[in-house]
Amino acid sequence: MGAIKPTYIKLLSKQLMQEVDEFTDDFDTNKKIVEEHTNVESKSIRNRIAGYIAHKKRVREEKS
């Protein structure tokens, strides 16, 4: 899997992570949470946001 390059995915993910504390390092859980808290209609965009959040959570857990 490649790197997430579009800045709109990074920005939206960071906003969601600040507003919602329910996110985990599990992709499937994050997918449902993103769907509940946004109006993103595209599955691929939703999945990219959920995957980016899961990646960020995993990296934070490994560092601490």
State the pLDDT at residue 1: 64
State the pLDDT at residue 54: 96
Residue type, 24: T
CB 1 within 8 A of CB 37: no
State the pLDDT at residue 4: 67
Q: What is the pLDDT along the chain (64 residues), one digit of tens a residue?
A: 677 679 999 999 999 999 999 999 999 999 999 999 999 999 999 999 999 999 999 999 888 8
Residue where the block lists tokens 């997918």: 31
Q: Which domains does the chain have, with CATH numbers?
A: 7-63 (1.10.60.20)
CB 54 within 8 A of CB 26: yes
Nearest of 32, 9, 8 to residue 20 by alpha carbon: 32
**For residue 17, with 0-12 CB atoms within 10 Å meaning exposed, 13-18 middle and 19 or more buried, which class applies?**
middle
